[in-house]
A and B are shown apart, each in its own frame.
Chain A
Amino acid sequence: MRETLQHIEAEIPRLRRYARYLRREPDHADDLVQECLARAIAKIHTWQPGTNLRAWLFVILRNCHINEIRREQRMDSIDDTPTDAPALTTPGNQEASVALVEVRKAYLGLSEEHREVLLLVAIEGLQYEEAASILEVPLGTVRSRLSRARQALRQALKAGHGAISDPGASGVQGLRHG
């Protein structure tokens, strides 16, 4: 148990990052993480050792978020819920590389479902199957979403003449979806 708790504690920064995606305001995001931790400990017996603890925690975090949104909707006070880009920013311009700034800008311009699948797979490094479980969608949907998200990001970077070089006109079209 102690070891599991240590592993959970080690995941707090990543929970905070995902929460910051789900809830723009940092304090709200940390409230969400706090609720997630409470629920995770309360149902720790349901976690299967050997499976990805991060993915398991992300499922709980996302469910907490969904519950919170439902409560807010019931209370007709959804003004503070994020409706557009997530706040994956930090004070002090800690993400200063030109390429990262450009990618981040393009990323924030994507649709919500594209941002989220990229966050889970490309940023957090989860397996497609784990992302499917978190998002509660079929594996094929994760695949297609991921493919479209990457291409959308690629196109956005091209449109912005980003730091990632354009390999040529035929590249993107050369990748068939299937």
Chain B
Amino acid sequence: MAERDVLAADRMHDYIDGRLRDRDRAAVAAYLVARPRAAAEVEALRRQSEILRGIGQGILDEPVPPRLRKALQEHAPLTMPRPPRRVTAYLEAAAAILLLVVGGVLGWQANDEIHPRPGAADALLADMAGAHAFYGERGYPVDFSPERAAELSSWIGRWFARDVPPPDLRDLGYSYRGGRLIPAAGTRVGLFQFEHPEDPELTIFFWTTAATPQPLGDPGPAEQVAARFWSGHGLNLAVVSERTNPDLETTADAIFSFYERSAGPG
């Protein structure tokens, strides 16, 4: 280290914070040995840093509130990493379904009017986008509110011959508003609606009839709705929300993990 650099303040802070290499540290130490007043200043700064570390120590010593441990435990099962087989299945499903919607985006116009694209699969997706807008309108009553979960479960069981429960997304900020079944493009689709105090509405669609993949043209620049897809254990899912929703990816991952666990065997 050049002599002129030894006194540089950032070197001193590197020295105090233990960031210097052995050789540079030795150079600073030697410099300070010869300059007691500078050494005293560095020692004062070091001592100051040492005392600083005690700030907020009481917070570290406090017992962790149970709700924080609970939050960690409750979220963990929802988002356990998918095993490799699951990833492959997801990618295959995504690849197939993405043929339906180039870029994973549904057609949408600023005046909220849905413009379905040609083709049965397109119609399914357009219907889902329409249902998201129509049923997901904030404050709009849903057919089966959470209080009528048993009735909705029974309805789902009759149509799909299986149980498809709504996930609990409260820790991600989403409240479950309710659900219903709708006819869509010649098949039957279930939907669960969620709302967030700030983020856009979110709708989970589920169906069991395989849609026929069909490529679409360029979705164009006006789309405002985005979708994420998953398929596994005989169940197909689409998570639909506005493109401006910053948490769509994260929320969809949590939802897919939930169904990976709940829809799987056992």
Contact = CB atoms under 8 A, between A and B. Distances in A.
Given A42-B254, A164-B44, A20 B56 contact: yes
A172 B72 contact: no
B9 A42 contact: no
Contacts of A151: 9
Given A42-B250, A171-B41, A103 B198 contact: no
Interface stretch (A48-56, A76-84, A90-98): A90-98
Nearest to A140: B10
Nearest to B16: A150
B64 A13 contact: yes
A9 B72 contact: yes
B34 interface: no
Contacts of A61: none
A150 B13 contact: yes
A103 B56 CA distance: 12
Interface in A21-41: 21, 30, 33-35, 37-39, 41
A132 B67 CA distance: 31
B144 to A, nearest CB: 27
A146 B75 contact: no
Contacts, number: 178
Contacts of A100: 51, 54-55
Contacts of B33: none
Contacts of A65: none
Range of interface residues on B (Cβ < 8 Å): 35 or more
Interface in B61-77: 61-62, 64-65, 67-69, 71-72, 75-76
A94 B44 contact: no
B7 A174 contact: yes
Nearest to B65: A30
Nearest to B49: A122
A38 B78 CA distance: 10
A89 interface: yes
A30 B80 contact: no
A127 B14 CA distance: 10
A94 to B, nearest CB: 4
A90 B172 CA distance: 29
B13 A147 contact: yes
Contact of A164 (B38, B47, B59, B65): B47
Interface of A: 1, 5, 8-9, 12-14, 16-17, 20-21, 30, 33-35, 37-39, 41-45, 71, 74, 88-92, 94-95, 97, 99-100, 103-104, 107, 118-119, 121-123, 125, 127-128, 143-144, 146-147, 150-151, 153-154, 157, 164-168, 170-172, 174-178
21 contacts: A13-B59, A30-B67, A37-B68, A38-B71, A88-B56, A88-B59, A90-B59, A94-B57, A95-B57, A100-B54, A153-B48, A164-B48, A164-B51, A167-B40, A167-B44, A168-B41, A170-B38, A171-B44, A174-B38, A174-B41, A178-B8
Interface of B: 7-10, 12-13, 17, 19, 35, 37-38, 40-41, 43-45, 47-49, 51-62, 64-65, 67-69, 71-72, 75-76, 78-81, 171-173, 197-198, 250-251, 253-254
